[in-house]
């Protein structure tokens, strides 16, 4: 089946630093979704990407949909302690379709 590979698996950074993480796939996706999950809670949708090459921002978060449609990255600028959590990329093949999730990037921020 389809697999999404995320890297790095974990990051430990200083508050104020910028962060970059990415997601790659062997298959083409028409949509990329980025979620954040806090411990014991459900994934929260951060950003949705619909077009190859698209760059979308949500506050301090910026995500890009790769030109090949097989990758995406998420950047967080000026990290703060509440950015701590696990960031997942996910892709559906079509509307109403299952999401395939990546393995996640665990972000830890040192105040």
Residues that bind another protein (CB under 8 A): 30-31, 33, 35, 40-45, 48, 50, 88, 90, 92, 94-104
Q: CB of residue 41 vs another protein: minimum separation in angstroms?
A: 6
Q: Give, in order, the Cα–Cα distances in Å from 63 to each of 2, 58, 111.
A: 21, 9, 24
Total residues belonging to the chain = 111
Q: What does the block give as tokens for 3? A: 């697999």
User: Cβ 77 to another protein, closest distance in Å?
Assistant: 23
Q: Give the nearer residue to another protein in terms of CB position, either 9 or 16.
A: 9
8 A C-beta contact, residue 40 and residue 55 = no
Least CB distance to another protein at residue 90 (A):
8
């Amino acid at each position: 089946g389809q697999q999404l590979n995320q890297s790095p698996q974990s990051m430990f950074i200083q508050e104020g630093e910028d962060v970059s993480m990415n997601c790659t796939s062997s298959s083409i996706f028409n949509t990329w979704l980025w979620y954040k999950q806090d411990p014991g809670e459900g994934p929260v949708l951060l950003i949705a990407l619909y077009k190859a090459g698209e760059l979308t921002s949500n506050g301090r978060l910026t995500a890009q949909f790769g030109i090949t449609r097989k990758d995406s990255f998420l950047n967080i600028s000026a990290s703060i302690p509440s950015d701590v959590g696990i960031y997942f990329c996910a892709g559906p093949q079509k509307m109403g379709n299952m999401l395939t999730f990546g393995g996640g990037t665990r972000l830890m921020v040192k105040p």
